[in-house]
Amino acid sequence: MQFMKWRTSLIMGFIILGILLSTSFYAQQKFHETGPASRKEDLMNSVEELERERERLEEELMELRKETEDYEKRAAANEGILTSFTQENEELKKAAGLTGLKGPGVEVTLADSVQLPEFENPNNYIIHDYDLRLAVNALLNGGAQGVDINGQRLISTSAIRCAGNTVMINSTRLSSPYKIKAVGDQDRLLKMLQEDDGFVQLSQGYAKTFGLIVKIDKLSELRLSPYEGSLRLKYAEAMEAK
């Protein structure tokens, strides 16, 4: 064949064609690989994004709370009358779970089974939201003055609920192992854990049958993290004390 003088524009056209070909080939391949899962991926991405957003907002909220606290302290220093209010305020915050707590208490560790479920229901081998509720209830019954699960402090509006294969507390997803820290009278806490039928069934029965991990530790100093979420009570109004 004779030497052909190809025009630059034609060659450029071919380069673009090549890019188009490989890009659409790549896109199709990815589409086939992910297929209907791509929607799931999208949802997961948005969940992760929202969680990051929430974390950022929580940090902001903590900063603002600290700022408010500073103002309160300064005001208290200026005017002696406010001191008693400030003290009361501190006490209320401690009780509401807005401050970190430290003190003696009990740590209950619950974790999914290490055994592999073969033919049985795999749900039997993991820790569920209701298992956590059993433990928390028993601890509160034992007079726990603050409860913290994996860094999430329980307050009056906290829910412990199931969210897929994780547990959601204070709109944060937690996964096994769950460390439940409760500050309070150690002996009473332990006694209530041992006397709670539901918890005993979990720690003696299910734990042994399915290999769930249930561990109870007495610790002389526990540290609970403060509640970091929002506190806006939109519908509730305080009533005057009679």
Partner 1 sequence: MWPLVGLLIGIALGLFLKIPIPPIYAKYLGVATLAALDSAFGGIRASLEKEFNDKLFISGFFSNTILAAFIVYMGDRLGVEPLYYAAIVAFGVRLFQNIAAIRRIFFESKRWGKE
In the complex, which residues of this chain contact partner 1 (CB under 8 A)? 1, 4, 6-7, 9-28, 30-31, 34, 38
Tokens of 195: 């006397």
CB of 121 to partner 1, least distance (A): 35
CB of 94 to partner 1, least distance (A): 51
- Nearer to partner 1 by Cβ, of 18 and 177: the residue is 18
Longest dimension (CA), the chain: 107
CB of 12 to partner 1, least distance (A): 7
- Nearer to partner 1 by Cβ, of 6 and 235: the residue is 6
| Cα-based distances in Å from 97 to 2, 57, 62, 158, 229 | 87, 19, 13, 11, 11
- Nearer to partner 1 by Cβ, of 18 and 143: the residue is 18
Q: In what order do the strands lie in the sheet with 166-169?
A: 160-163, 166-169, 172-174
Nearest to 128 by CA among 171, 179, 178: 178
Phi, psi of 228 (to 5 degrees): -115, 0
- Nearer to partner 1 by Cβ, of 26 and 71: the residue is 26
Phi, psi of 104 (to 5 degrees): -75, 155
CB of 1 to partner 1, least distance (A): 6
Tokens of 126: 């993991």
DSSP secondary-structure letter at 144?
-
CB of 33 to partner 1, least distance (A): 11
CB of 29 to partner 1, least distance (A): 10
Helices 37-78 and 82-96: angle between axes, nearest 10 degrees: 160
- Nearer to partner 1 by Cβ, of 16 and 159: the residue is 16
Cβ neighbourhood burial of 155 (10 Å; 0-12, 13-18, 19+): middle
- Nearer to partner 1 by Cβ, of 38 and 83: the residue is 38
Residues in the chain: 242
CB of 24 to partner 1, least distance (A): 4
- Nearer to partner 1 by Cβ, of 10 and 116: the residue is 10
